[in-house]
């Protein structure tokens, strides 16, 4: 990881006239562009400002975006000409050096010796367009992007970024980003990505040696495949937690929910007591396949980047054979990302070794409703969760959140394998969210997958067992739903040990 961090630092921070390219090429989708407009000379994070802005004294202030203009799809081919740029630090013409530039690199303006004066800033939002997101990679590619690899893959932060980036960065806990040393001119490509979420857009114009504000509607993640790439997700419904409704709330369009044979990116499977079919006006009311169709085949699992399982109201161990449990373990080891709600803890507690060793499981009465949850801020992303929750209104007090219908099935986690994210210390000491990377027990550089276990029914309020999406009735996000949104996109991100700061990837 140290070598990876050094490479990102040297590749993505402009220290000469040119920003050095970083990454490889491995992943594509449609490219969006906005109507041409005059780029700003200063920065403001007021989303009502459209595509231009002026400087403010508080660039950290944010609001909900109002620009929802539909954008068209365009393919960008970087310039192919090459030139040479003289090193401005050389005082003797006979000893001055030149470095060749290619394509967009040639459009980096020296700005009087400080090319970092050309910046692009903005905020990355969830697909629904108003919720800012943390730890999203934003970069300017120098080359076309290869298609995203379909099916489960081992996505670690050491794999590099596709498109030979000129400059790259991550969003902070307010969803904000700033890229310095950006090529100037018209139709500058910009990529917004996390894991297999990816959207490539075109900035109409970047003004040299100025602060430029990216239009907000271009810097949200895609809500459908025409806007970009969405991970392939398997969602198992359950009789105690209509978790499928949360995927709609984050902005995934209904057309992306289809049977397995359909072209949508989300496939629903019937779990015990959960929804078992689509509404009549979606996919002609088609029935869901049973959860055993997913659980019983590693090859079926391998078609998906993520698997989410809503609480069924009980462990229902008889429906989950030893072979099925091994399939899930094997899937995680290949790079699968898994979210388990409440009683789906059986996959861990009674799963193949060494999964049961990741936490101390119990079966105690439910906690008071509601109860105050604490966010563990002792590691970088835990602190980021606390900051983000305060910013998005999920917390009134830093590091705390209100939890409804909290359960009590985890006493503690194994610090050698797992990370505690949310817990309670009154009236009981419990763990409400924890994660571990897979395969369990191998060196971190050999781990590919990730598992989230939650003792929280995150989507309480929507109707259980109703045809999808007719049972999805609530509006807005509760504090515990906001926490899950954070965990959902964190689950999507490239894999890195929890005690390390995230890097673009």
Residues 7 and 104 in one domain: yes
Residue 250 burial (CB count, 10 A): 19
* 69 found inside a domain: no
Per the rule left: phi > 0, alpha: psi between -120 and 50, beta: everything else, 502 is beta
266 and 197 within one domain: no
The reported pLDDT for the residue numbered 98 is: 57
**pLDDT tens series, the chain, 505 aa:** 333 333 333 333 333 333 333 333 333 344 554 433 333 323 333 433 333 333 333 333 333 433 333 333 333 333 333 333 333 333 344 444 557 888 999 999 999 999 999 999 999 999 999 999 999 999 999 999 999 999 999 999 988 899 999 999 999 999 999 999 999 999 999 999 999 999 999 999 999 999 999 999 999 999 999 999 999 999 999 999 999 999 999 999 999 999 999 999 999 999 999 999 999 999 999 999 999 999 999 999 999 999 999 999 999 999 999 999 999 999 999 999 999 999 999 999 999 999 999 999 999 999 999 999 999 999 999 999 999 999 999 999 999 999 998 999 999 999 999 999 999 999 999 999 999 999 999 999 999 999 999 999 876 679 999 999 999 999 899 999 999 999 999 999 999 999 999 999 8
User: Is 459 in the same domain as 401?
Assistant: yes
Burial 434-460 (b: 16+ CB within 10 A, else e): bbbbbbbeeeeeebbbbbbbbbbbbbb
Q: The dihedral of CA 41, 47, 49, 50: what is its sign? A: positive
Same structural domain, 193 and 287: no
- Phi-psi category of 113—alpha, beta or left, where left has phi over 0 and alpha has psi -120 to 50? left
Same structural domain for residues 285 and 391? Answer: yes
**Is residue 427 in a domain?**
yes
Per the domain annotation, does 417 fall within a domain? yes
CATH number (domain holding residue 251): 3.40.50.880
The predicted pLDDT at position 100 comes to: 82
Per-residue confidence (pLDDT) for residue 78, from 0 to 100: 37
Q: Are residues 165 and 244 in the same domain?
A: no
Same-domain check for residues 203 and 105: yes
**Strand bridging mode 306-309 / 337-341:** parallel
Flag whether 499 is in a domain.
no
65 within domain boundaries: no
Q: Residue 294 falls within a domain, yes or no?
A: yes
Domain boundary among 165, 184, 218: 218
Residue 306 has what pLDDT?
98
Same domain for 23 and 168:
yes
Taking a C-beta distance cutoff of 8 angstroms, is the pair 404, 477 a contact? Answer: no
Same domain, 395 and 276: yes
Domain that residue 43 falls in: 2-49+98-218
Pair (240, 204) in one structural domain: no
Q: How far is CA 191 from CA 33, 110, 183, in A?
A: 12, 23, 14
Q: Choose the final residue of a domain: 187, 218, 249.
A: 218
- Phi/psi for 423 (5° steps) reads -150, 170
Which CATH number fits the domain that encloses residue 113? Answer: 2.60.40.10
- Tell which of 166, 183, 218 closes a domain: 218
**What is the 8-class DSSP label of residue 292?**
H
Residue 396: its pLDDT value, please? Answer: 97
Cβ pair 101, 84 in contact under 8 A: yes
Q: Are strands 449-454 and 337-341 parallel, antiparallel or unpaired?
A: parallel
- In a domain, residue 503? The reply is no
pLDDT at 493: 96
Q: Are residues 265 and 180 in the same domain?
A: no
Strands, E assignment, 256-342: 266-270, 289-290, 306-309, 337-341
Structural domain includes residue 64: no
> What is the per-residue burial (b if ≥16 Cβ within 10 Å, else e) of 3-24?
ebeebbeebbbbeebbbbbbbe
For residue 453, the number of C-alpha atoms closer than 13 Å in the C-beta half-sphere is 32
Number of domains composing the chain: 2
Please give the Cα distance from 31 to 77 (Å, whole number): 11
Clarify whether residues 204 and 240 are in a common domain: no
pLDDT value at residue 383: 98
């Amino acid at each position: 990881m140290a070598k990876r961090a050094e490479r990102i630092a040297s590749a993505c921070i402009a220290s000469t006239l040119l920003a050095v390219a970083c990454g490889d090429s491995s992943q594509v989708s449609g490219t969006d562009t906005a109507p041409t407009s005059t780029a700003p000379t200063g920065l403001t994070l007021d989303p009502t400002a459209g595509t231009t802005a002026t400087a403010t004294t508080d660039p950290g202030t944010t609001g909900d975006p109002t620009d929802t203009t539909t954008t068209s799809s365009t393919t960008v081919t970087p310039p192919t000409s090459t030139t040479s740029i003289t090193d401005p630090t050389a005082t003797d013409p006979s000893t001055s050096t030149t470095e060749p530039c290619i394509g967009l690199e040639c459009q980096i303006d020296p700005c009087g010796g400080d090319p970092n004066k050309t910046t692009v800033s903005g905020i990355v939002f969830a697909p629904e367009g108003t919720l800012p997101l943390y730890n999203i990679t934003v970069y300017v590619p120098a080359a076309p992007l290869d298609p995203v690899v379909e099916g489960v893959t081992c996505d670690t932060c050491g794999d590099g970024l596709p498109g030979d980036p000129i400059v790259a960065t991550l969003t902070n806990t307010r969803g904000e980003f700033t890229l310095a040393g950006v090529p100037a001119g018209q139709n500058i490509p910009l990529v917004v990505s996390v894991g297999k979420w990816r959207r490539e857009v075109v900035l109409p114009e970047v003004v040299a040696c100025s602060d430029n504000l990216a239009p907000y509607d271009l810097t949200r993640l895609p809500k459908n495949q025409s806007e970009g790439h969405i991970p392939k997700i398997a969602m198992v419904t359950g009789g105690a937690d209509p978790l499928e409704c949360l995927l709609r709330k984050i902005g995934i369009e209904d057309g992306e929910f289809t049977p397995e044979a359909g072209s949508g990116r989300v496939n629903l499977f019937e779990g015990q007591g959960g929804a078992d079919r689509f509404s009549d006006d979606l996919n002609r009311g088609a029935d869901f396949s049973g959860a055993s169709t997913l659980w019983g085949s590693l090859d079926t699992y391998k078609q998906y980047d993520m698997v989410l399982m809503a609480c069924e109201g009980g462990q229902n161990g008889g429906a989950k054979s030893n072979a099925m449990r091994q399939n899930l373990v094997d899937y995680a080891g290949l790079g699968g990302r898994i979210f388990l709600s409440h009683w789906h803890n059986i996959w861990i507690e009674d799963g193949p070794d060494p999964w049961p060793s990741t936490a101390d499981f119990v079966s105690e009465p439910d906690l008071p409703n509601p109860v105050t949850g604490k966010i563990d801020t002792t590691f970088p992303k835990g602190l980021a969760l606390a900051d983000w929750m305060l910013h998005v209104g999920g917390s009134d007090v830093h590091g705390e959140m209100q939890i409804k219908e909290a359960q009590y099935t985890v006493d503690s986690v194994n610090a050698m394998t797992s990370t505690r994210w949310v817990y309670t210390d009154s009236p009981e000491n419990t763990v409400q969210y924890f994660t571990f990377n897979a395969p369990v027990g191998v060196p971190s550089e050999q781990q590919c997958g990730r598992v989230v276990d939650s003792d929280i029914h995150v989507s309480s309020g929507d109707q259980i067992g109703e045809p999808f999406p007719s049972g999805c009735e609530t509006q807005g996000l509760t504090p515990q739903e906001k926490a899950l949104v954070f965990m959902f996109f964190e689950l999507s991100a490239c894999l890195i040990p929890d005690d390390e700061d995230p890097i673009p990837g």
